[in-house]
Structure 1
C-alpha cells in the first residue's frame, strides 16, 4: 500500500489558498486583513468564523474549531486526512507522488468511507452505461436529449442510466470487489430473504446527489415506463452518508454562483435545477420534493441571506409550502417569491425562453413573501370577516418569526396597507405572538437540554477534541498550569526565530552585558535540563518535537508546520495559538511604554519561562506536602529538605521576575 509523499503534501499546502477553499462552502466577506462569515458548524446569526489568508488558517469562535484548509475539509466534509489532500491536489493541479508504507500503517476504511467509495463507483458505472452501452444511449440518453439537455449539461450533473435488469449492477459491483454489505447499506442494492441481490434503480435514468464538496451521497432515479404501479421517482434510502433533509440538489454545481449573485433560487425538482442552469440561471437548488427543513435552510444561509422561491402556479402547493417559508424567515433570511404563468414550471419555462428573457422575468416578477402571502390569502377570504381575521393572524404569525426588528416593522406596515387595518392593532397582535414565539423557543431549548442531559452517555472524550477542550476535561489540568504552558508553546509556534536580548548575568545588576539569541533557543536551553514536563499532552508533544529538532540540528518546526499536522488536535491547537492572544502591546495597559517590539518579546519570553518554572516548583512543593500529610514518606527529614530546596528555587525565580525589565 502507498501513501502521499511528504514532498507532495508540502506542494499541496504551498498551493492552497484557504480563502478559495472555504469560500466554496461559506460566504466570506472582507474584514480588515482577514475574512469573516457565518460558522458552518453552528447555527450562529452573527459571523464569528474568521479566515486569515496571510496565515492560511481559519478559526471558528462559535464552535472552537480551527486549522488549515485540510482541517476544514476534514471537519466539514468528514474527509480523512489523505482524502482532503487528494481533493486539494485536484483543485490546485498538484501531481500526487506516493510512498510505500507497511501493513501496520494501513488503516481499515470506516463504514462511512466504504459507503462513499461504493457510491462513487455507482455514479461512474451509471454514467458509463449512459454513454457507452446501446441500451443506455437508446433509452437514457435519448430521454435526456428529448428533455432538451445538452451533452455538456448531462456531464455537468453526472446523469446516468441503470440497465434494465434486476441484478445487473449488483452483480457487476460484486465482481469488481465491492462488498455486498455496503451495496445494501447504501441502498444501491436490495437483499431478499432468499439471499438474492437486486438493483434498486434498475431500468431508470439516474440523478446523482452530491455534497457541497462534490462527493456522491445518494441517487434519485426516474422510471421511463408508463406502468402506473411503478413509482415515478425513487430515492436512495437514508444511510450513514445520505440524509435527504440535510441535502439540496444542485448545490455542488451552484454554490459559486450563489455567492457571486448573493441569492439562491429554490425550486422543487431535479429537472427544474438542470433546465435553469442550462439556460444560464446557475444560482439554483432544489429541495427534491421534500418539505423544506431547517438543515437545508442553513446550507443556503452559509452562502447567502437572500432566497427566492420559484412556484409553478399550483395554489394548493403554494399554500402547503408556507410552513417551510416560515422556517426560512425564522432563520433570518430574506425571502422573495415568484409565480410562473399557469401551466408553466421552472423546467418548461426555462426551455422556452432565452437567458435574457428569463433573467428579466425573474427580476421583474419576484416579490417579497409577506406581501405575496397577504395578497394571496386575503383574496381567498373575500368578505368573510372570520376568515379575514384568521388570515391576518396567520400573516402576523409569519412576521413574528423574523428576528430583525426593523424588517418586522417594515413588513407590518406593508401588511397593514394591504389588509386595510390600523397599524396599532397589528402591532398589539405582533407583540403577543412574538412573546409566545420566544417563550415556545425557550421551552423547546430547555426540553432539549434536559433530554441531552438524560441520554448523554458517560464516555471518554473523543479524539477530535481541541487542545482547549482537552485542557478543560483533563483531570491533571488546572488553569494556572495551562496558562503558563500555553505561553511557552505560543512563543515556540509564533516567535521561535525572533531575536530576544537579556542580561548575561541576571544576578549581577552591575553587569550590563547583553546576550542576543532566538526566543526558541532561549526557551529550550532554559527548560531541557530541568526535567519539567507539560501537564497538557498536546503541548508536551509539540515541545518534544521542537526539542528533538533542536538536538538533531534540524530546522525548528513553527506554528505553520504544526497547523499542517495530520493529528487534528495538534492542528487545531496550533491554529488557536497562531493568533496574537498574548498581544505584546498589552504592556501599554500595564504602563510600560516601550516602542521596540523586540524588547516586548524579550520581556514576555523571559517572564514566560520564569513563570513556567515557578508554577512547576509550586507543584513540587505541594506534592511533597501532600505526601507528608498522608504519611506516605518514610523519611520525613528528606521531605523537609526537598521543600526547603524547592522553596529556595521559588524565591530565586520570584526575585528574577521582579528584575525583568
Structure 2
C-alpha cells in the first residue's frame, strides 16, 4: 500500500504521547482506582463516568458503550479521521518525522486530508495575524482598541486581519504548497463567479477557532466597513474538520481552568470571551455562529466531569432579551441534569460582557459571573414577567404558564421548592394551593405519558412474525465463577509478573466462559505471562494475538478495568485467584467423575471402577490441599 507509515515510527509516536495526555484534551480524567483514570465518555451520552483509561498500558475502554482501543484509535474515533491522519497528527505534536515505506520522509502528497487541512489553517492563522500589523488593518486595530483590547490581547487570542483583496490568502497558500482542492475543502476560499478561487474572508477581523487540543479548525470574521454587504459575523462553513455544533470558541484556553474550577461560562461572542478572560474569568467560551445545543452540552459535561458524584456548574451570560432567554432555556429542554447545574448571569442594561468591562471595568465582569441566577428560577421569573400579576387574571395566567415549567422538572424535591417560590413570586399567600396545583398537573402528565406508552391492542392482535435472534453469550459479572475468571485474566494482563509462571500452566478448559476462553488463548499465543512479565507492554502483544475485534475489545476492557482488591494487587491477592480458579476446575471435574461413577453402577468391571474411584480420590485430596495450603499446593 503506497504511503504506509513504518511500523517502528507508529510505535515511536505511541510511546511519545501518553494516552492520558491525549485523552485529557477532550475528557476531564480523575482517579479511577488502581492505575486507572476515569471520566465521562466522549462517544455516548451518559450520566455517570464509565470511561476508563489505563496510562501504563496505553489503552481506554468505556463500560457503557463498549468503545475501546489505544491512543491512535481514540483520535481516529473522536476526530473522525483515518489511521494515517491520527498518526501524523500525533507525530506533529511529538516532533517526530515520519518515514513512509515508499517515499522517504513525510511527503506532503501522502499526508491524510485532515492533517493537510489542519496545516493549512495553521498557516492561514499565522498569516492573518501578520496582516493585523499592516496599514490596511488600522481599521481593525481601532475596532479592537475601542473595545479595550490592546496588541498583547490580540496576540494572546490570535486575532488577525483578512486583507480586502480577492485572493491574497489563496496565492499565499498556493505558494506554501497547498492545492486548490485543499484550500477550497477547508473553507478558506470559495469558487468565484469567473471560476477561480477567492478568499472567503476579505476586509475583516479574523478570530482563529481552535478545538480543545489547540488545533485551528476554522475562523470567525467580523465586518468592519459599511460597504461590506455580508453578515456581521461570517464563519467557516461546515468542513471535514469544522462542525460548528461541536466546537466552542476559547475551549483551548479555558478547558484546564474549567476542569480545575468546576465551572464553565458560556457567552455569546468572540469579544465577550476575550473580555471575560482578560477580566480573570478564564473559563469563558462561546458558540460559533450557532445556538448552544446538545453537542455543546456534551463538551462541557466531559470537561466538568459532570456525573452523579461531581457537581459542576455552567453559567450563561445571555442578555435578558427574548432571543437570549430562548437560547438559555434550550438547555432546560436538552438535558435536565445539566440544566439543574446551570445558572444565568443577566447583564445590566442589556450590556454584553465586553461592553460591561469597557463601561465598568474587570471587577464588574467578575461580579456578574459570581452572582448568577439558577436556570429554573430564571425560567420561572421569565414566565411570570410576561403577565400582569397585579391582577387576578394575570396571576392565574402566570400560574398556569409557570406551573408548566415546574411540572417539567423531573426532580420532585426541586419541583416542590420551586412551587413554593412561585407562590411568593405571584403574591399568593396560600402556598399549598400552588403546591397542590402543580402536583395535580405533574400527576396528569405522568398518567398521560404512561398511557402513551401502552401498546395499541388493535395493532398487536396479529403480530408480524419475528425471526429469532442468534443466541449470544452474555457475560455476568455477578456470577462468582465468572468473577474469578475475569479477575485472574485482569491480573495476567495488567500484572503478568504476579501470576507467572503458574498461570501459564492453566489450560483453556479452566476458563469455561467462552469469551474468557478466547482471551486465555490470546494470552498463550502472545507468549504467556512468563514472557509478558519481561515486556514493557504485554497487553499490546495480547491484542495483536486476538482473532477479531470482539476479543480485542474484551482484552482492552480487562486491561483498563480496576483490580477489585481494596489493597494494592500483590502476589497474595494473585495467589488467591489462582487457587480459586483451580478449585473451580477441580470441583467441576469431581462432579463429572461422580456422575460417571453413577452411570457405571455396580455391574461395571472392577478394574474400570477402581480407576474412576482412584481419580475421584486424587481429585478430592488435591482439592483439600488447595483449600488448606492455598497457593503452595499449586
Matched residue of 1:321: which SS? helix
Aligned counterparts of 1:284 and 1:128: Cα–Cα separation in 2: 26
C-alpha change, 1:104 and 1:135, in structure 2 (3 Å) is same
1:409 maps onto 2:408 in alignment: no
Matched residue of 1:208: which SS? strand
| Alpha-carbon offset, residue 537 of structure 1 | 8.0
Relative to the length of structure 2, the TM-score reads: 0.71
C-alpha change, 1:283 and 1:490, in structure 2 (3 Å) is closer
What are the Cα deviations for residues 458-501 of structure 1, in whole angstroms up to 9, with x where unaligned?
xxxxxxxxxxxxxxx99998979xx89978965642454335xx
Correspondent of 1:522 among 487, 493, 505: 505
- 1:179-328 equivalences under 5 Å are 179-192=179-192, 195-227=195-227, 229-304=229-304, 305-313=312-320, 315-321=321-327, 323-327=329-333
Partner of 1:48: 50
Partner of 2:377: 371
Partner of 2:66: 64
Matched residue of 1:342: which SS? helix
The answer to whether the Cα contact below 8 Å between 2:190 and 2:197 also exists between their aligned partners in 1 is: yes
1:558 maps onto 2:534 in alignment: no
Partner of 2:527: 546
- 1:606-621 equivalences under 5 Å are 606=582
Aligned counterparts of 2:345 and 2:380: Cα–Cα separation in 1: 14
The answer to whether the Cα contact below 8 Å between 1:49 and 1:58 also exists between their aligned partners in 2 is: yes
1:26 maps onto 2:27 in alignment: yes
Aligned counterparts of 1:572 and 1:602: Cα–Cα separation in 2: 24
Correspondent of 1:38 among 33, 37, 40: 40
The answer to whether the Cα contact below 8 Å between 2:504 and 2:529 also exists between their aligned partners in 1 is: no
C-alpha change, 1:105 and 1:497, in structure 2 (3 Å) is farther
| Alpha-carbon offset, residue 256 of structure 1 | 1.4
Partner of 1:430: 438
C-alpha change, 1:193 and 1:359, in structure 2 (3 Å) is closer
The answer to whether the Cα contact below 8 Å between 1:186 and 1:239 also exists between their aligned partners in 2 is: yes
Matched residue of 1:43: which SS? coil
| Alpha-carbon offset, residue 145 of structure 1 | 4.2
The answer to whether the Cα contact below 8 Å between 1:127 and 1:159 also exists between their aligned partners in 2 is: no
Aligned counterparts of 2:556 and 2:206: Cα–Cα separation in 1: 42
Partner of 1:114: 113
Higher RCO (CA-CA < 8 Å; seq separation 6+): 2
Query: Is the deviation greater in 243-252 or in 186-195?
Result: 186-195
C-alpha change, 1:9 and 1:150, in structure 2 (3 Å) is same
**Stretches of structure 1 lacking an aligned partner (at least 5 in a row):** 448-472, 500-516, 586-594, 615-647
Aligned counterparts of 1:5 and 1:359: Cα–Cα separation in 2: 48
Query: Is the deviation greater in 200-209 or in 537-546?
Result: 537-546
- 1:138-149 equivalences under 5 Å are 138-141=138-141, 143-149=143-149
| Alpha-carbon offset, residue 316 of structure 1 | 3.1
The answer to whether the Cα contact below 8 Å between 2:28 and 2:259 also exists between their aligned partners in 1 is: yes
Matched residue of 2:349: which SS? coil
Aligned counterparts of 1:440 and 1:161: Cα–Cα separation in 2: 57
1:178 maps onto 2:178 in alignment: yes
Aligned counterparts of 2:520 and 2:175: Cα–Cα separation in 1: 49
Matched residue of 2:202: which SS? coil
C-alpha change, 1:342 and 1:66, in structure 2 (3 Å) is same
Partner of 2:126: 127
Aligned counterparts of 2:206 and 2:617: Cα–Cα separation in 1: 73
| Alpha-carbon offset, residue 346 of structure 1 | 0.8
Matched residue of 2:214: which SS? coil
Partner of 1:578: 559
The answer to whether the Cα contact below 8 Å between 2:493 and 2:538 also exists between their aligned partners in 1 is: yes
C-alpha change, 1:549 and 1:42, in structure 2 (3 Å) is same
Partner of 1:624: none
Aligned counterparts of 2:454 and 2:290: Cα–Cα separation in 1: 29
Correspondent of 1:602 among 549, 570, 578: 578
The answer to whether the Cα contact below 8 Å between 2:345 and 2:368 also exists between their aligned partners in 1 is: no
| Alpha-carbon offset, residue 434 of structure 1 | 4.3
| Alpha-carbon offset, residue 259 of structure 1 | 2.0
C-alpha change, 1:146 and 1:128, in structure 2 (3 Å) is farther
What are the Cα deviations for residues 405-428 of structure 1, in whole angstroms up to 9, with x where unaligned?
332222222222112234444334
| Alpha-carbon offset, residue 543 of structure 1 | 4.4
Matched residue of 1:358: which SS? helix
The answer to whether the Cα contact below 8 Å between 2:97 and 2:106 also exists between their aligned partners in 1 is: no
What are the Cα deviations for residues 250-303 of structure 1, in whole angstroms up to 9, with x where unaligned?
222211122222222221111111121122211111134533212222222223
Matched residue of 2:42: which SS? coil
Q: How many matched pairs?
A: 560
Aligned counterparts of 1:161 and 1:570: Cα–Cα separation in 2: 53
Aligned counterparts of 2:364 and 2:545: Cα–Cα separation in 1: 52
The answer to whether the Cα contact below 8 Å between 1:123 and 1:158 also exists between their aligned partners in 2 is: no
Aligned counterparts of 2:89 and 2:375: Cα–Cα separation in 1: 39
C-alpha change, 1:180 and 1:88, in structure 2 (3 Å) is closer
C-alpha change, 1:161 and 1:536, in structure 2 (3 Å) is farther
Query: Is the deviation greater in 116-125 or in 20-29?
Result: 20-29
Aligned counterparts of 1:202 and 1:478: Cα–Cα separation in 2: 59
What are the Cα deviations for residues 516-566 of structure 1, in whole angstroms up to 9, with x where unaligned?
x6135435xx679xxxx9999887666433369969x98595236657999
Aligned counterparts of 2:92 and 2:586: Cα–Cα separation in 1: 48
The answer to whether the Cα contact below 8 Å between 1:29 and 1:36 also exists between their aligned partners in 2 is: yes
The answer to whether the Cα contact below 8 Å between 2:346 and 2:368 also exists between their aligned partners in 1 is: no
The answer to whether the Cα contact below 8 Å between 1:276 and 1:284 also exists between their aligned partners in 2 is: yes
C-alpha change, 1:362 and 1:555, in structure 2 (3 Å) is closer
Aligned counterparts of 1:558 and 1:653: Cα–Cα separation in 2: 38
Aligned counterparts of 1:330 and 1:161: Cα–Cα separation in 2: 41
What are the Cα deviations for residues 212-268 of structure 1, in whole angstroms up to 9, with x where unaligned?
222333221112211263322112222333322232222222111222222222211
Relative to the length of structure 1, the TM-score reads: 0.69
Correspondent of 1:381 among 380, 387, 390: 387
Matched residue of 2:265: which SS? strand
